[in-house]
Structure 1
Amino acid sequence: MPIRTLVIGAYGNFGRIICRHLDCMPEVQLVIAGRNGASLAKLAEQLTDSERWCGDAMADGFAEALRALRIDWVIHTGGPFQGQPYHVAEACIEAGANYCDLADCRAFVSGIAQLDERARKAGVALLSGCSSVPSLSSAILDEQRQRFSHIETIEHGITSSAKMPGLSTIEGVLAYAGRPIPQWRNGHPCTVDGWLGLQLRHLPGLGWRLLNNVDVPDMAIFPARYGAASVAFKAGSGLMAGGLANAALALLVKLGPVRDPLPWARRLYRLGVRVEHWGDGKSAMYLDVRGRDENGQPLRLHAQVTALDDKGPEIPSCAAVALIAKVADGYRPQPGARPCVGEISVAEYLAAIDAPDKIRYSLDYRHG
């Protein structure tokens, strides 16, 4: 029997990518979902075989719709997830459907655990953060941690191409501009200012990129999972002007002249769309890990996933694709509600993207 998979926000930036991949999988029966019937119809014309459900997944009655459609898996791409309730996940529990989302909000991904007992009783898996972070970042660390006797610091981040993601993504990540976000330093919690803390970092194949402090689920997951005393995350645009604009907004929020960053996030989004053609199309996720090898000697790892030709959005999108492909091959995640870590290997992730000429994965170990 095909895996009946419903994608919420199917015509959005990430949803379209997921649908395009799932449409090519004979083991999957795709159901595209959203609130705009015209957009759903337009997307359906671009797909080989799909069903449509037009409605609000956050409204009452979604569980009944899932049962009527006989849905096995729900992929929730409808951000921003900052402050979003768990209505979709709760409907999945009620309908007996498995669930994953593309959330990159620390509170949302960590908070999914409040549904763990209910999900276990219902026999369904609820996996939050099925995206670059924490799914891919943790997959890389899980596979390389055996080289370390002890991990001391993890510094990682994402630098995108200049091509703009969806507006909801921009609204979500700029919601905490200028506001304190928790990180870890030397075994103790600390706070840094969102979208400040500018840093120039040189990345192989990309050159110099400007990065800012960003909040991600990894900050809550990695200290306990890997025993690292210091964990930090930064992100930035392919155009340095974008990083400076985000920092300027953050500073205005911190100092007080701007109280609500969301209207400015929309303005920055429109400006970014106008200038995105100036970018080089390159993006990357990197991890710098420091610790000790089995002999107690200092060891450093630099891992990097690089995307060319504006293929960066494939990386956050294809965690869900890799998960469904694995399920189609017989994998059954344990019932319960948790962050999506330890579910997908790096090889499975890259196979789902299926663009070896556009997506490159590199590892560099050095002693000292």
Structure 2
Amino acid sequence: MSAQVLILGGSGRIGSSVAADLFTFTSAEMVISGRNAALGKKVCDRLESRGRFLSLDLSDRKGLTQAISQADLVIHCAGPFHYRDTQVLEICIQHSVNYLDVSDHPSFTRKAISCAASAETAGVTAISNTGIFPGISNSMVRQDVEQLDEAEAIHLSYAVAGSGGAGVTVMRTTFLGLQKPFQAWIDGAWKTVKPYSDRETIEFPNPYGRTGVYWSGQSHLIEPRV
């Protein structure tokens, strides 16, 4: 029997990309949840008989619990995660359902880590921060660092403008990240940094070339252990 995967926020840019990968590389059957039925059904059409849409708002705890209890794995793509709580993760733990999210904000990461003991006790595999950053970027850094005798510094810069297809949630996350100063690990100490400051020019591969980058707060230095 194929695994049953519930993708929260599955009709968005990131969630639909996750669904497409699962369709290509696994035999999983997917429930695509969201609040926009038209978008959700478009995603399901691309999944053929392996996808169905579920209209679901995360504030509907009863509906959320019912959907989670019927899944083998929940993939939480319903950002922005700046103000999300751990309700989804807690319900997964209560119903012994494995969990994964694409969160990208330190405040959410700390909340998720606080659930580590209960997840372990319940035998639930729960993995946080698996998006492009800090998920994939952290994995890239670790792979490179392990090939060196010693790493003196780690510098991460991203060029994403013009990549196309950014949804509303991606834009909201970007602007939320510009609102408040954040803590960054600089020269061996935590320091407060103003977002969108200290412009630096980086030489990226084509088609970007020389592009200006700025400070942006991410969860890179908080190791997800849940």
The 1-side partners of 2:103 and 2:139 are apart by 17
**2:221 corresponds to:** 219
In the other structure, the counterpart of 1:338 is: 225
Determine the C-alpha separation between the residues in 1 that align with 2:115 and 2:25.
Answer: 30
User: Could you give the per-residue CA deviations for residues 54-111 of structure 1, whole angstroms, max 9, x where no partner exists?
Assistant: 22234211223322x3x11111111110021111111111221111111111221233
- Runs of 4+ aligned residues of structure 1 deviating over 3 Å after TM superposition are none
CA contact (8 A) 1:23 1:48 kept: no
Structure 2 match to 1:273: none
Higher RCO, 1 or 2 (CA under 8 Å, sep at least 6)?
1
Corresponding residue SS for 2:78: coil
Q: Report the Cα distance in structure 2 between the residues aligned to 1:164 and 1:214, rounded to whole angstroms.
A: 21
Partner of 1:200: 201
Distance 1:92 1:201 in 2: 42
Distance 2:156 2:92 in 1: 33
Please list every run of 5 or more consecutive structure 1 residues that lacks an aligned counterpart in the other structure: 222-336, 340-368
Task: Mark the runs of 5 or more structure 2 residues left unpaired by the alignment.
Answer: none
Structure 1 residues 203 and 75, CA gap change in structure 2 (3 angstroms): same
Q: What secondary structure does 1:213 align onto?
A: coil
Aligned to 1:183, the other structure's residue is in SS state: strand
Conserved 8 A contact 1:76-1:102 = yes
Corresponding pairs, count: 222
Aligned to 2:131: 131
Amino acid corresponding to residue 55 of structure 2 in structure 1: C
* 1:47 equivalent in structure 2: 47
Q: Which deviations, in whole Å up to 9, do the C-alpha atoms of 1:213-267 show, x marking residues without a partner?
A: 101110334xxxxxxxxxxxxxxxxxxxxxxxxxxxxxxxxxxxxxxxxxxxxxx
- Spell out the pairing of 1:194-273 with structure 2 (5 A cutoff): 194-205=195-206, 206-221=208-223
Residues 1:35 and 2:35 aligned together: yes
* Larger-Rg structure: 1
1:220 match: secondary structure? coil
Q: 1:189 to 1:12 in 2, by over 3 A?
A: same
Q: Aligned residue for 1:310?
A: none
Q: Is the 8 A contact 2:100 2:127 kept in 1?
A: yes
Q: CA deviation at 1:159?
A: 0.8
Q: What is the CA RMSD across the aligned residues, in angstroms?
A: 1.9
Q: What is the CA-CA distance between 1:38 and the residue it aligns to?
A: 3.3
TM-score of the superposition, structure 2-length normalised?
A: 0.89
Does the 8 A contact of 2:85 with 2:111 survive in 1?
no
Alignment of 1:70-85 (within 5 A): 71-85=71-85
> How far has the Cα of 1:16 moved from its partner?
1.5
Find the aligned partners of 1:184 and 1:66 in 2 and give their Cα distance: 37
Residue in 2 aligned with 1:103? 103
Shift of 1:164: 5.0
For residues 142 and 43 of structure 1, what CA distance do their matches in structure 2 show?
Answer: 34
Identity %: 23
- Cα deviation for residue 26 of structure 1 reads 4.6
Tell me the alpha carbon deviations over residues 173-226 of structure 1, each in whole angstroms, 9 at most, x when there is no partner: 2224253211122211112111122111112333111111101110334xxxxx
Residue 66 (str. 1) matches residue 68 (str. 2)? yes
SS at match of 1:52: strand
Shift in Å, 1:141: 2.4
Q: Which AA in structure 2 matches 1:73?
A: L
